[in-house]
Amino acid sequence: MGNNCYPIKLLLFLLTLGFSGCTDLDDNLEVARAQDVITKDSELFNLIERVTTDTDDPLQDVVCIDFIYPVNVKLYDEDLIAIGSVTLWSDDEFSQFLGAISPTQALSISYPISTTLSDGSTFSVNNNSELKLAIDNCSREDIVSYCGSVFESGLSADGSPDCVWRVDYAENYDNQYVGGVFQINPDNTLVFTYRGEEYPGNWIFEFVADQLHININLEGTSEVAVYWNIDRRMAIWQDRIDIATEPKHILLRRHCQDSGTYELGDVGPAGGIVFFDKGFYSDGWRYMEAAPEDLFAFEWGCASSEVGNTTAELGTGLTNSGRVTFFHDNLADYYNNPSVCNAANNGTVAAQKASVYTLNGFDDWFLPSQVELALMHANLHLLGFGNFANAAYWSSTEADAGNAQTVDFATGTAAPSPKIQIVNTVYTRVIRYF
């Protein structure tokens, strides 16, 4: 798509003048021929809008053809009398022009124009029929190819993946595998990594009954492999994939390596405080940052049931939080009716509150694991960063059905604490990977 920016105020000014451009308006008072005019309610008008408007949705965008600018167009009134002309220099400009045309006006394009196909080849279009044919010939194969290029993980200078697709938390979505990451290879192979385990497999995009599907097939018969052996309808954008599963969809988001270099105590990209550097980029992250302030005091969660499979190790805070939140999301209306778990619970869950927390537009925060929480104490609190309280903080690591692991920031001691805090004495501080 063209990337020149034509000032919208100037474009609207040209509209006000009838797009007279550099020619005298009287010279443009001609009647359009029926085969030249493109009315606003025509299929071709809609197709041109799709070529010039980038929504990051390949099912709506025409991804296999680009105009080569400049393009000259004429504007006509409701009687198909020419009232002006203008030269357009970019997709943005063309899209703004189309959006400013009234329902009673029409346009025509001064042919020939040059266009570029997705394979880089250039060809000339000489009339409306050829233009419509060229756009119509944007096939399903073009869309599948485009989606594949978006899906593939880029490579950094050392050959390691520069981006991954991660299962991220979203309310009312299936969050069972939050924190799992897909490394996507151009040969249609992939590796799904979850809680330190790698699951190789393959992928394709295809059309099924006129709908774009994603097909993922992981090797083996493990619970993870069975879950991800899918052929589902999906929608893809540059940084997001929505997989239509029932009863809840799955959200994948693209996470790429940050180009900056950070030291402990630096402000992170989300406005948090950097407290750990892994030293290299893998599984979609290198650094950890902590939010600059505590969240309100929340309970850890249900006090009479065990979530299970939450660990203390480094790098497991996100998957722990995902498991804790998934567990409570699937209780019978727990947040509004916590008595389904325990009469003493108040319905708050620290991991869930972390998952919906947003700061500076970043919404991928979570509750740290026990080791990550201890690092936050050592690398921030003891050095005077973070405005922490001298009190216990929740980790996402469960101890047993009634307790979760905490770290006392007054002493640095890790110990289990009851999931229900009658006087809200355990604090919540969220973190994120990048």
- Each domain of the chain, given as residue ranges in start order, spans 8-138, 152-255, 273-433
pTM of the model: 0.74
Is 50 exceeded by the pLDDT of residue 332? yes
Per-residue model confidence (pLDDT) at position 364: 97
For residues 401-424, average pLDDT? 93
Look at residue 425 in the predicted model and tell me its pLDDT: 87
Q: Kindly state the tokens that stand for 420.
A: 């229900």
Residue 10, exposed/middle/buried by CB under 10 A (0-12, 13-18, 19+)? exposed
> What is the per-residue pLDDT for 56?
65
- The 3-state DSSP class for residue 202 equals strand
Confidence of residue 3 (pLDDT cuts 50, 70, 90): very low
Question: In this structure, which long-range contacts are made by residues 199-205, counting pairs with CB atoms below 8 Å and at least 24 apart in sequence?
Answer: 199/224, 199/225, 199/228, 201/225, 201/228, 203/151, 205/144, 205/147, 205/148, 205/151
Split at pLDDT 50, 70, 90, the class of 35 is: low
Angle 216-221-223 (CA atoms, 0-180°, nearest 5)?
A: 80
Calculate mean pLDDT across residues 64-87: 90
* pLDDT for the residue 8: 29
Residue 360 has pLDDT above 80, yes or no: yes
pLDDT score at 122:
78
The residue among 146 and 167 whose pLDDT is bigger is 167
Tell me the C-alpha distance between 34 and 27, whole Å. Answer: 20
**pLDDT for the residue 23:** 33
Reduced to 3 states (helix: H, G, I; strand: E, B; else coil), residue 106 is strand
pLDDT greater at residue 269 or residue 11? 269
Q: Does domain 152-255 have CATH number 2.40.128?
A: yes
Reported as a single tens digit per residue, the pLDDT across 271-330 is 999 999 999 999 999 999 999 999 988 999 999 899 999 999 999 999 999 999 999 999
132 and 79 Cβ atoms separated by less than 8 Å: no
Choose the weakest-confidence range: 44-48, 77-81, 116-120, 158-162: 116-120
Say which residue, 119 or 25, is predicted with more confidence: 119
The per-residue pLDDT for 20 is 34
Cα(334)–Cα(337) distance, integer angstroms? 5
Residue type, position 313, single letter: E
Q: For residue 70, which of 22, 133, 33, 25 has the smallest C-alpha distance?
A: 22
Using one digit for the tens of pLDDT, what is the confidence trace for 214-242? 999 999 999 999 999 999 999 888 899 99
| pLDDT tops 90 at residue 352 | yes
